[in-house]
Structure 1
Amino acid sequence: MNDPLCFCNSGRTFELCCKPYIHNVSCPETPEQLMRSRFSAYATKNFQYILDTYTITQRKNLTLQVLSQGGDDSHWLRLDVLDTFTDNRTQAGEVEFVAYYRQNNVIYQMHERSKFFREEDQWRYDSGVLFEDGGVYKPQRNDSCLCGSGKKFKKCCI
């Protein structure tokens, strides 16, 4: 039996992709790896990992309860990383992505450019700027399903 693919849409198995990060076996080496692992943590509802990977300043204003509000009702479907930038000199990075999720039988897309900083020798998420094209996902007539099956959106699992 094949191992399941990772939630982050990397094309690798969860076992070899985000799971080692989420289970604290290893640490992401780039902002993109951290972004992907945070998406997988949302997909698996591992809110402790999400909290732990915020910058120290941001973490002061968050709790597990706050992070899990609404998260239990969300089903994360797909992550598309559009662009990444890392400046090793300043220990900062950015990742632009689109994440798709279902909540109350409605599919949404979130398009964000996230900022990351290296603290205590680990990459951490700090903040993000949302693009205006986020909101309810409106697939075009022949769009493929978000699950990656290659089937048309209307004739698949969503």
Structure 2
Amino acid sequence: MNSASCPCGSGDLLASCCGRFHGGQPAPCAERLMRSRYSAYVLGEVDYLLGTTLPAQQPGLDRQAIAQWSAQSTWLGLDVESTEVLGGKPEHAFVTFTARWHDEQGEHSHRERSAFVQNQGRWYFIDPTVPLKAGRNDACPCGSGQKFKKCCAAYL
């Protein structure tokens, strides 16, 4: 692991790049979290993928499907287009990227603008495929203490 290049495309060694986040160190920004999540798909780090999704959404994730997609794909690369840090309390950000992979159906490319939120010193991916069960005036599921409509609702 120490001499392998990081799958995220940074050009750095895995151990000094995404590997440290997989080992428990919090990602310092949304882009690094997104890159480390791509690397986790490449490396089959399913626990990391689950643990870096917004905690309120984690029960709605399909662990088996994530593991299967990770294992049955040949990951071809990641291109980060842009990062928009929006600030605020809690801090939110968008990262636009394209991930490429090959599976039994052929080669694929997926472009996405992902939303992230930082809470209690950790960044989390806000998964648009997992519904958040919160009304506009309910407490935000990210744990910020704010109303959902004033916090993460705008990022879904």
Identity percentage of aligned residues: 30
Q: For the residues of structure 2 that align with 1:71 and 1:103, how far apart are their CA atoms?
A: 10
Aligned residue number for residue 99 of structure 1:
99
Cα deviation code 1:27-68 (max 9, x no counterpart) = 101000000000000000110000000001211211422322
Aligned residue number for residue 77 of structure 2:
78
Aligned residue number for residue 62 of structure 1:
61
- TM-score normalised to the size of structure 1? 0.74
* Residues 70 and 77 of structure 1: CA distance in aligned 2, closer, same or farther (over 3 Å): same
Does residue 127 (structure 1) correspond to residue 127 (structure 2)? The answer is yes
* Residues 105 and 61 of structure 1: CA distance in aligned 2, closer, same or farther (over 3 Å): closer
Any unmatched runs of 5+ in structure 2? 130-156
* Residues 8 and 128 of structure 1: CA distance in aligned 2, closer, same or farther (over 3 Å): farther
Q: For the residues of structure 1 that align with 2:53 and 2:11, how far apart are their CA atoms?
A: 25
Q: Which amino acid aligns with 1:124?
A: Y
Q: Which amino acid aligns with 1:38?
A: R
Q: CA deviation at 1:128?
A: 5.1
In proportion to residue count, which structure has more helix? 2
* Residues 13 and 105 of structure 1: CA distance in aligned 2, closer, same or farther (over 3 Å): farther
Provide the aligned length of Structure 1 versus Structure 2: 127
Q: Which amino acid aligns with 1:62?
A: L
Any unmatched runs of 5+ in structure 1? 130-158
Q: For the residues of structure 2 that align with 1:100 and 1:92, how far apart are their CA atoms?
A: 25
Alignment of structure 1 residues 34-45 onto 2, 5 Å: 34-45=33-44
Q: Which amino acid aligns with 2:84?
A: F
Q: For the residues of structure 1 that align with 2:67 and 2:84, how far apart are their CA atoms?
A: 29
- TM-score normalised to the size of structure 2? 0.75
Aligned residue number for residue 16 of structure 2:
16
Q: CA deviation at 1:21?
A: 0.2
Q: CA deviation at 1:76?
A: 1.3
Q: Secondary structure at the match of 1:15?
A: helix
Alignment of structure 1 residues 130-141 onto 2, 5 Å: none
Aligned residue number for residue 3 of structure 2:
3
Q: Which amino acid aligns with 1:19?
A: G
Kept after mapping to 1: 8 A contact 2:26/2:121: no
Structure 1 range deviating more: 7-16 or 55-64: 55-64
